[in-house]
Amino acid sequence: MRADHAHGMKLVILGRDGTINRYRDDHVKAPEELDPLPGALEAVARLNHNGWHTVLATNQAGIGRGLLDMASLNAVHLHLNQLLAEKGGRLDAAFFCPHTPEEGCDCRKPLPGLIKQIGERFDVELDAVHMVGASLTDLLTAQNAGCIPHLVLSGPLGVLESHQLQEVLASVPGARVHADLAACAEAIIQEGRRRAAEERGQALPPDTQAGDLN
């Protein structure tokens, strides 16, 4: 049993489109169609440097529909990891559902099957796992799997008026909202530091200003 296993591995599950790269209506079918959002790759690296493992969880119905094949999807994710490596970050794994909605699988988000696979693979309790996405589907997936739900406004929901956004969020109590992945990563890191300090019975680390607690 590893020393860090007492509290489980620190894990953040990330949606892909609208969270890490710009959302495309027509699917990302090839590496050159993957357009990273500003600051997103750096945010993953920052999480990694602070001890967080990051895993991708994405619906890829384009495979079931014949719009792209496994080799193309693997090429896209290889490219993403190469871009991350340039920033000093990495994804531990990319989990995806290849099915169309009509196939009735249990791994297509918002069903929790894909997230449960990740929990089993990494031997983590899902209630301590942060899940970040850009859609209501991602929030519902986190809720259904028992993860901590985070919404980033760097995808399609970013254009909503405030009252429209509140309507979306009403179905996922406790969801946390961030401008983008960089802001979300910072919040997760700071909360992790506070938790670790509390568990050690210490005050906050010296680089955290008291004002950050508001």
Q: Does the domain at residues 3-213 carry the CATH identifier 3.30.9.10?
A: no
In this structure, what are the phi and psi dihedrals at residue 174, rounded to the nearest 5 degrees?
90, 0
Cα–Cα distance list, 169 to 29, 130, 150, 164 (Å): 30, 17, 10, 9
Domain residue ranges in the chain = 3-213
User: What global pTM score does this model have?
Assistant: 0.90
- Which DSSP letter does residue 186 get? H
For 74-110, the pLDDT digits (tens) are 999 999 999 999 999 999 999 999 999 999 999 999 9
Average pLDDT over residues 148-169: 96
User: What span, in angstroms and rounded, lies between the C-alpha atoms of 89 and 113?
Assistant: 26
Number of H helices and E strands in the chain, helices first, is 7, 6
- Which DSSP letter does residue 168 get? H
Average pLDDT over residues 169-196: 96
The percent of residues in the chain predicted with pLDDT above 90, rounded, is 86
